[in-house]
Amino acid sequence: MTEPLRGDARRRMAVAAVVLALIVLAIVLAVLLREPAESPPQPAAPSTAPGASTSPGPAASGASPSTAQPSPSQPVEPSTEMPEAGQDPVQPPATVPPVPVPPSAPDAGPGPAPDPGPPAAPFPSALLGQDLTAIPNAGRVVALTFDAGANTAGLPKILSTLSAKGVTGTFFLTGNWVEANPGGVGQIVSAGHRVANHSMTHPGFTGMDGTQIARQVRGAEQTILAAGGDPRPLFRFPFGERDARTIAVVNSLGYAAVRWTVDTLGWKGTSGGVTAQAVADRTLAALQPGEIVLMHIGSNPDDGSTLDADALPDIIDRISAAGYGFATLDALLAP
């Protein structure tokens, strides 16, 4: 009886051991099967295309497995990294078809400025080739003009009369007179009168060539400009001596030639048989629309008289009484 019992006990123990081993095996299998599912996917080694270099680049050398590029067969998770402060997020490159740009005008560059064209004419073309003896289409106005080539004896009285009567005049100045009387230009201009060019030294022009004429005209121009006046574009020939050639030369220098309607002859002085009354009468006898009256600033060299300055108040009053006004020779330049 004892032997059969021992045999049953051994069988039961063997069965228990088998069952226990099966349980342990099942637990081990369960653990092994769960671990691959929970562990993160391992990056696959990049495949090498035929003919491609297998040497690692600068970024690949020493790189950790976490920075390796994913295999094309695995999905790539979008990056959640934020850019550093002050940097813009890096966007994936996009292929954009080129936009055609319309052709633009070629850049002129820093070359010379475009030609503005010929400068504007300094006076109306209708005045070319003329030595004007009246203001065209002026109406009932008179231009009082005063030539300065000698001294300034009559200037204070002339300026005083013009100011008192509210009349402006035109003063033709030689360069020599301006150099000798630099303050005279300032007095004339500051009183609101017009200055004009009467040559540098008051020579006859018909015996001079173009270069000599230009020297006379430009010399006076620069001298008057330096003294504070601007004579352009009005010119009067010394002694009234001119011809078609000299008029053309003066025009080419930018000046219109202006003569006179009447010469008062006050420059002859009392020694020449002239009086202030005769000066005024002569002026009124020639009265007409656009009349240009020629008078002189200086005194007669023989008797020292200044008849034009003396007759000026009477001349202005009588012209005004006849229904005329006064204008400077700028009226010639109106278009």
Instruction: For residues 281 and 277, give the distance between their C-alpha atoms in angstroms, rounded to a whole number.
Output: 6
pLDDT digits (tens, 9 = 90+) for 54-81: 443 433 344 343 343 434 434 434 333 3
Which pLDDT does position 115 carry in this prediction? 54
Which pLDDT does position 34 carry in this prediction? 62
Which pLDDT does position 116 carry in this prediction? 52
* β 234-235/256-258 pair status: parallel
Which letter, b or e, does each residue of 198-209 get, where b requires 16 or more Cβ atoms within 10 Å of its Cβ? bbbebeebeeee
Q: Which domains does the chain have, with CATH numbers?
A: 140-333 (3.20.20.370)
Which pLDDT does position 111 carry in this prediction? 53
**SS3 label, residue 200:** coil
Cβ atoms of residues 143 and 331 within 8 Å: yes
Which pLDDT does position 17 carry in this prediction? 77
**Ranges in the chain, pLDDT < 50:** 1-2, 5, 36-109
Q: Which residues contact 295 (CB under 8 A, 6 or more apart)?
A: 144, 145, 146, 147, 158, 264, 266, 279, 308, 312
Q: Is pTM, for the whole model, over 0.85? A: no
Which pLDDT does position 189 carry in this prediction? 97
Which pLDDT does position 54 carry in this prediction? 40
What are the catalytic residues?
147, 296
